[in-house]
Amino acid sequence: MNARIAFCILILGATSAVAGYAGLNISFPHDSLWMKLFAALIAAAIGVAVATFWHIAFQVVLKVIQRRLQFLSWAVVIVGCLAITGMSAAWHVAAIGGDAALTAAIYETLDDGEAALSDAARSRNGYRGFQSRLSGFHDEVVSLAACEDATGCITGTPGKQGVYGTLIGMQGKIDGIIKALAEDDRLSDTRLAEGRQCLADFRAALSSGKAGGERGVAASSAFDCVNVAVAAIDGNGQLERIAQEMDSLTAGLVLPVSVKTAAQKQAVENILASLRERASSIAANARKVAAPATIGTISLERMSVMKAVIIYWDEIIPAWVTGIALDLIPVLFLAFEAIRVASSGALPDADTEISITEAIVNASVDTSTAEGEFIFTVLTAQARLERRHISRRTKEGLAATRQRGTRLGRPPKLSDDQLSAARRQIEGKSATIGAIAAQYKVDPWTLTRSLRRHSPVQA
């Protein structure tokens, strides 16, 4: 392995250690010195493991010659790379994009707070429609009272006694209901504006980075403000209060003592019955309107960095790409180096596994000069001569072995006696080749091939 690759592996191990330490610190924040030392030891172990693995990978993969071993070595490298990625990529991503993931979680909760405020604002529409109906009812009572005062249109006797007083009492009750609803509406608008302002202020601080390390506390304060506003607007029972007030509006009404004649009594009872029917209609409609669903409390979930980077992965895609690339880039370097070695025509020796070119360089032979070319030619001729000597001695040894009657290769599965007996059975048609092969526990093709090679003379 050359110095360039070794230096890159060293840098990779150091980067993995630093990123691992940063990821551990942000995932498990702690002010204890012992915890920081423990995180440093784990990060150092990760860096050493990564550097050692890739050092061994570059040492082994680039020197393997046999195809089967090459496949095996690459399979081991890929499995090891996946293991390293699973072990350290999450810490890398936490170190690079953990803060952004937590910020994304806060922004999502901010959206939930704004949605809660909008739902609370819409929930007021259910009783706002009754304000106009109450105003119309109020105007009708006022008109009847004025008519009775001026012309006695109900009892026939003008004045401010009797029925007039009853109508004025009803007018006061309706006026009180309308004023109470208006006050509730005003307070709801105030709370709604305060909640939206709290969210707007916190969003501005979060965008500008002013929230800083206190953003969790600031977020909780903003969401508490929103919850107070939602609670003031939602669930205050305006519709049920309208229904109850309308039910009690005409309850207990009796004919004034000033009403004496039958005609007056009938006229007053008709008016009161009409007013009761109008109030009952408003109460029934108020109860029919479905009460809005209660809006839940908005709170910021206490989320770890590791959980945040997984849930909000789409918000920190560059961090994921960078974190995984730190573990996958060495595979690309290894592949490129393997291609370079293969294309350079390197011929590794059985022991030293270095190429002829590397041997000449190590011997300080300059082939660009006449002397260097001569030395190269002599070395080449000597290597070829040695190769031919080895081949000749090998052939002579094999021939001498055959002359001594030693059989070369694998031992035969059938002896000469077995083959002679098999031939006699086949010629006498006393058994088939398959039966004889089964008897000697060999394949029929093995028996046939052995019979072809076995001479009948040997039998």
User: Is 410 part of a structural domain of the chain?
Assistant: no
**Do 245 and 390 sit in the same domain of this protein?**
no
| The predicted structure's pLDDT at residue 379 | 83
Dist CA 293 CA 298 (whole Å):
15
User: Is 349 part of a structural domain of the chain?
Assistant: no
**Do 189 and 282 sit in the same domain of this protein?**
yes
| The predicted structure's pLDDT at residue 353 | 44
**Do 53 and 187 sit in the same domain of this protein?**
no
Structural Rg of the chain based on CA atoms: 50
**Do 124 and 265 sit in the same domain of this protein?**
yes
Is there a contact between 306 and 27 (Cβ–Cβ < 8 Å)? yes
User: Is 81 part of a structural domain of the chain?
Assistant: yes
**Do 81 and 111 sit in the same domain of this protein?**
no
**Do 245 and 370 sit in the same domain of this protein?**
no
Dist CA 398 CA 406 (whole Å):
10
User: Is 436 part of a structural domain of the chain?
Assistant: yes
**Do 210 and 266 sit in the same domain of this protein?**
yes
**H-assigned helices in 236-316:** 238-249, 262-288, 305-311
**Do 212 and 125 sit in the same domain of this protein?**
yes
Tokens linked to 252: 């207990």
Dist CA 184 CA 122 (whole Å):
15
User: Which residue segment(s) compose the domain that 36 sits in?
Assistant: 3-100+313-343
String of DSSP letters for 321-332: HHHHHHHHHHHH
- The whole-angstrom distance between residue 370's C-alpha and the CA centroid of its chain comes to 67
**Do 254 and 323 sit in the same domain of this protein?**
no
**Do 296 and 178 sit in the same domain of this protein?**
yes
| The predicted structure's pLDDT at residue 347 | 43
User: Is 166 part of a structural domain of the chain?
Assistant: yes
| The predicted structure's pLDDT at residue 31 | 65
User: Is 191 part of a structural domain of the chain?
Assistant: yes
| The predicted structure's pLDDT at residue 71 | 80
> Mean pLDDT for each 10-residue chunk of the chain (459 residues)?
76 80 70 77 82 81 72 83 76 76 77 78 69 83 85 78 79 84 80 80 70 61 77 67 78 66 77 83 76 60 71 79 79 79 55 48 67 83 89 89 79 84 87 88 88 66
**Do 158 and 270 sit in the same domain of this protein?**
yes
**Do 123 and 194 sit in the same domain of this protein?**
yes
Q: How many domains are there within the chain?
A: 4
